[in-house]
Amino acid sequence: MVEPAVDLAHGEAHDDHAHHGPQGWLKYLWSTDHKVIAMQYMFTGMFMALVGGFMAYVFRMQLAFPGINVPGFGGVSPGEYNALVTNHGTIMIFWVAMPVLLAAFGNYLIPLMIGADDMVFPKINRLSFQVFFVSTIVILASLFVEGGGFAGAWTAYPPLSADSTYNLTPLGSTLWVIGVGLEFVAFLLGGINFITTLMNSRAPGMRAFDVPIVVWMIVVASILFMLSVGPLLAGAIMLIFDQTIGTGFFNPATGGDPILWQHLFWFFGHPEVYVVLLPAMGVVVEIITTFARKKLFAYRTVIFTIVATGVLSFFVWAHHQFIAGIDPRMANIFTITTLLISVPIAELCFIYIATLYGGSIRLTTPMLWALAFVAEFLIGGVTGIFLGAAGADVYFHDTYFVLAHFHYTFFPIAIIGTFAAFTYWFPKMFGKMMDERLGKIHFWGTIIPFNLIFIPLFVLGMGGQHRRIYNYDQFPDIAGGIFQDMRELATYSLLVMLAFQFVFFYNCFKTARSGPKAPKNPWKANSLEWTTESPPPHGNWHPLRMPVVYRGPYEYSVPDREDDYWPQNDPDGAPLQVVDDDDS
């Protein structure tokens, strides 16, 4: 599914470079161009989003109408249900949020926004996608092997994940570990590229504090990923040995400990939240400054805030384990760090609001997505306080409250953030302007059902509905009445939301066929990617006319200027280079 879409992106722009390397569709498969690799990541990620969404549809149908013959799938057995929820979680995080937000937008934006012609290691970049592609095949194949896909929940706690007499998926669970491990290797390769590219390949004149926030965010996220994933890779090796050779790292009978896995998993798992959150928050910064026509409030504070968030995120992991038998004194410490980490994130939200305050706001489709991100993520953040406090978490743990909280954070990140970025950079990526009316229909058709899916789940969770149950008919207290109504409401809303995604795909295809051509800088934005053609040619700029930077990326509505924007590479007024007054 990758080739035609990539073709769309690089149609004519590439013709004069066609003599480089392999011809035809192979050109796209073996390309080292960061934009082509970004598209490969993006379309693989979107395809996997459809797979993950289909899984959600199947198990939501089963939850609302136990025993129903789900159209397009059939009856859902308990084993299949477990495999569906496990792989829905795994796929949505590791094969949708990470490849699209981090890898696709990281690859696309970093070189363009810092004024480079490509990543510093184009071949390693290509290798990164190829490893990722193999990992995608492995995880998809694991769904069809004997015994079915892995059914031990996406957190893969032993002994359920380590011993196939418990999870009943001997092949699926091993393939799952291999797939996730390969995926980590792919992002390590990509991350090293991102970090070194930002460090070394900025355009002449671009200082550290002239770099657009989204690039900072993606790179800080890459560093977080790199420093947190190691212990889990070590854990994955141990888990695979436990599964296949029969070692007992996680088996108390041979001196092991299942809690070790929880520590290794969440030591990665919590920074991982910020790995995907930060790029989305960066995307929002670019959009709200552009469409509020206002300078970003407190640029440097944003940078220091995300670094603080990154450091703190390594000291909160045990809040996932409050009922796993950890020492209550430890629970106290982790409660404090968890409540602390909400401070920098709240700070970012206030910075966004301060940026909007007094701006001349334009409610375009990307702006709607960006504003929705702030509003919806806020709900996710506030409900997280309940779960971060050990006292409340003992009750809420493993209920639908957790699930709803989680989706109020990850849906804004992975779906709202992605649509914001996609609609904002679509003119640059594909050289066409999207239909605003269809875009807004899609926006409201996604946001309203999203809230109607997950608000009922908060209520169900507070009512005590446990999350890992296949059929609630077995529990007379919550089988019928308002509980059943809530479950049905959530499922119907999901169907509505999925249906509205067709508007999005229709909009994409309509735009590709007959959309108006996009100018270089349709939004009148400042950063460097808007100074080249839409879509940018191979090498992004003419090799002899690479951009030079004179100022930061957020100089909107500067007094005494005719235009209300001031591109970073505009030499006009250059001697009076902006002094370090970003924080004023």
Partner 1 sequence: MRPIATTRAATGTETGKLAVWWVLASEVVIFGGLLASYVMFRLGHPEWADAAAVTNTTIGAFNTFVLLSSSLTAVLAHQAAERGDGRKAAMYLYCTIGGAAIFLGVKTYEWWYEISHGYTITSNGFWAFYYTAAGLHAFHVIAGAVIMAFVARDAAKGLELHRVELIGIYWHFVDIVWIFLFPLLYIAK
**Where does this chain bind partner 1 (CB under 8 A)?**
111, 116-122, 188, 191-193, 195-197, 199-202, 206, 226-235, 237-238, 241, 245-249, 254-257, 260, 264, 267, 539, 543, 546
Find the shortest distance in angstroms from Cβ 254 to partner 1.
6
Q: Give the residue with the Cβ less far from partner 1, 208 or 499.
A: 208
- In 3D space, the residue among 89, 188, 189, 97 whose CA is nearest the CA of residue 139 turns out to be 89
Beta partners for residue 517, in sequence order: 432
* Least distance CB 395 / partner 1 (angstroms): 30
Distance in angstroms (rounded) separating the CA atoms of residues 484 and 438: 34
C-beta of 238: minimal distance to partner 1 in Å? 7
**Nearer CB in complex with partner 1: 198/281:** 198
In the complex, least distance from residue 197 CB atom to partner 1, rounded to whole angstroms? 6
Nearer to partner 1, 179 or 235 (CB): 235
Please say whether the beta carbons of 414 and 408 come within 8 A.
no
Q: Between residues 121 and 386, which has the closer beta carbon with respect to partner 1?
A: 121
Nearest of 520, 583, 576 to residue 112 by alpha carbon: 520
Task: Decide: helix, strand or coil at residue 66.
Answer: coil
SS3 136: helix
Q: φ and ψ at 161, to 5 degrees?
A: -85, -25
Nearer to partner 1, 147 or 230 (CB): 230
Nearest to residue 244, comparing CAs of 140, 138, 171?
171
Total Cβ atoms within 10 A of residue 346: 14
Tell the smallest beta-carbon distance from residue 162 to partner 1 (Å). Answer: 13
Nearest alpha-carbon partner for 482 in 471, 490, 474: 490
Q: How far is the CB of 177 from partner 1 (least distance, A)?
A: 15
Tokens of 410: 């990850």
Is 431 exposed, middle or buried (CB count within 10 Å of its CB: 0-12, 13-18, 19+)?
A: buried
Of residues 512 and 546, the one with the C-beta less far from partner 1: 546
Q: Which long-range contacts (CB under 8 A, 24 or more apart) does 343-346 make?
A: 344/305, 344/306, 344/308, 344/309, 344/312, 345/277, 345/309, 345/381, 346/381
For tokens 């792919």, name the residue: 186
Our measurement of the distance from residue 351's CA atom to the centroid of its chain's CA atoms, rounded to an integer in Å, reads 21
Question: Which among 293, 282, 242 has a CA at the least distance from the CA of 264?
Answer: 242
Q: Which is nearer to partner 1, 192 or 459 (CB)?
A: 192
Q: Please return the burial class of 543, using the count of CB atoms within 10 Å of its CB with bins 0-12, 13-18 and 19+.
A: exposed
**Least distance to partner 1 from the beta carbon of 118, Å?**
4
Cβ 234 to partner 1 shortest distance, Å: 4
Note if the bond before 535 is cis, omega within 30 degrees: yes
Closest to partner 1 by CB, 69 or 254: 254
From the CB of 275, what's the least distance to partner 1, in Å?
14
- Both tokens of 59, joined, read 């198990």
**β-bridge mates for residue 74, sequence order:** 70
Peptide linkage before 412 cis (omega within 30 of 0): no
Q: Among residues 125 and 142, whose Cβ is nearest to partner 1?
A: 125
Q: How far is the CB of 410 from partner 1 (least distance, A)?
A: 24
SS3 of residue 539 by DSSP? coil
**Please, which residue, 230 or 359, has the CB nearer to partner 1?**
230
Euclidean distance between CA atoms 340 and 394, whole angstroms: 20
459 sits in which H/E element: helix 436-462
Between 64 and 232, name the residue whose CB sits nearer to partner 1. Answer: 232
Give CA separation, 29 vs 23, 24, 333, 401, in Å.
10, 9, 49, 43
Beta bridge partners of 466: 399
Whole-number Å distance between alpha carbons of 140 and 51: 9
Beta pairing partners, 399? 466
* Residue 6 near residue 40, CB atoms below 8 Å: yes
Residues linked to residue 70 through DSSP beta bridges, in sequence order: 74
Shortest Å distance, C-beta 237 to partner 1: 6
Residue 235: CB minimum distance to partner 1, A: 7
Provide the minimum distance between the beta carbon of 9 and partner 1 in the complex, in angstroms, as a whole number: 19
Smallest distance from partner 1 to CB 35, Å: 12
Nearer to partner 1, 222 or 491 (CB): 222
371 to 98, 284, 455: CA distances (angstroms): 22, 8, 19
